[in-house]
Amino acid sequence: MQHPSWRRWLRRGGLIHCPCANLSRFTFGAALTESTPPAWWLKGRPRNVFQSKAEVELLSQLAVLLMPDEPIAEAFRDFPVQRCQEWGSSRLCPDLAAHGVLKTPGAALFIEYDGYYRHMEPLGLTRDVRKTSALLKFAPVGSIVLRIAHKERQWKDNSVQVLVDGWQSEHVPSLRKTVRQVVASLLQSCRAELVPGLVSRLEARAPPQIDRHAKTFAVDAELVGNASSSSKRLAVQEFLQTEMQLTTVQVAKSIARFPSVLGCSIEANLKPKVQWIKGLGLSQSQVVKVIARFPALLGYSIEANLKPTVDWIKGLGLSQSQ
């Protein structure tokens, strides 16, 4: 998908880089809501590991404003994609994803929080440009990527960029100010692209208040993980899909049933246990079925739990196949 370059306009709490005015040619409808989530949305699964506390603290508030009828966790989604040279991962993880908020049917609004200082470094800027391109390639034509930062960045990118003030963690007044700046920027830069119902709701709630459910969500999410555990989670997911041959749905259910699997080492824990289970004479399909139904097995000790259990079962007089 080709995207033109756009002129920039810098302002605190306002637009830095505004492609939205050029998206009008993509607007074929003005549906107020989408009764069924679009296909790209359904491909994703909610994540339970977050990059940073600041990210989830701000974006959970925006999730409530953009999609009040959607559970907050649903807005934080990871999507499977085809690994390619431009994006060298099988996962695409926008900081926040929203549907049903743009006039273009099925279009996505992705929001990226670039407050971490590494986003200002050359490698961080390069990765952000690549991620913007990957998001726009993944989503339908007419989709928008909104990037939130605290300092101006000189670059060529196909996103809508806004500058906002920082805030103190768990400090309601400063967070409310930042949320207000994001909302003002969104209305200023993309008003024509937003569904009228959302525009009216955002204007009616100005200045926006801090949602207590989103605040609670952010506090709980802080306990889940950080950037390193997020990378580890993706690695475990990829192992379960590629090595174990579990489907995306089976992986999601396995993690939901046994979240501690995300803390398991692939080399020291997962691979040895999978090999041991296969050594019982089970076929690949049987191993998949066992792990999908009883993912907690991956957390058991081979010597202390699995071997004694198998020996006990054999002692009941059951054959190897049984």
Condensed to tens digits (0 to 9), the pLDDT of residues 128-155 reads: 999 999 999 999 999 999 999 998 887 7
Query: Once rounded to an integer, what is the mean pLDDT over residues 245-250?
Result: 86
Burial class, 98, CB count within 10 angstroms (exposed 0-12 / middle 13-18 / buried 19+): buried
Q: Are residues 287 and 159 in the same domain?
A: no
Q: How far apart are CA 139 and CA 37, in angstroms?
A: 13
Angle made by CA atoms 232, 149, 142, in degrees to the nearest 5? 85
> Is 6 a member of any domain?
no
Q: Residue 225: which pLDDT band, with cuts at 50, 70 and 90?
A: very low
- Sorting pLDDT into bands at 50, 70 and 90, what band is 35? low
**Average pLDDT value for residue range 181-208:** 93
Contacts of 300 (CB under 8 A, 6+ apart): 273, 306
Question: Would 3 be classed as within a structural domain?
Answer: no
C-beta of residue 175 within 8 angstroms of C-beta of residue 210: yes
Q: Is the pLDDT of residue 53 over 50?
A: yes
Q: Could you tell me the two tokens for 109? A: 């609004």
Domain assignment of residue 156, yes or no: yes
Q: Tell me, rounded to whole angstroms, the distance of Cα 128 from its chain centroid.
A: 15
Identify the domain boundary among 222, 237, 268. 222
Residues 57, 113 within the same domain: yes
| 80 part of a folded domain | yes
User: Residues 249-278, buried b or exposed e (16+ Cβ, 10 A)?
Assistant: ebbbbbbeebeebbebebeebbeebbeebe
Between 96 and 3, whose confidence is greater?
96
Last residue of some domain: 158, 193, 222? 222
Residue 162 and residue 248 share a domain = no
What pLDDT, on a 0 to 100 scale, did the predictor assign at position 147?
95
Share of the chain above pLDDT 70, in %: 84
Q: Answer yes or no: pTM beyond 0.75.
A: no
Examine the domain organization and report whether 22 and 164 are in the same domain. yes
* pLDDT score at 252: 84
61/162 same-domain check: yes
Comparing 6-15, 43-52, 68-77, 137-146, which segment has the lowest mean pLDDT?
A: 6-15
Give the pLDDT confidence score for residue 231 in this predicted structure.
67
Give the domain range for residue 231.
227-314
Question: What phi and psi, each to the nearest 5 degrees, are found at residue 154?
Answer: -90, 105
Q: Is residue 321 part of a domain?
A: no
- Clarify whether residues 259 and 178 are in a common domain: no
Cβ–Cβ < 8 Å for 139, 95:
no
Supply the pLDDT for residue 70: 92
* Tens-place pLDDT, residues 272-321: 888 888 888 888 888 888 888 888 888 777 877 788 877 777 777 766 66
Domain C-terminal end among 186, 207, 222:
222
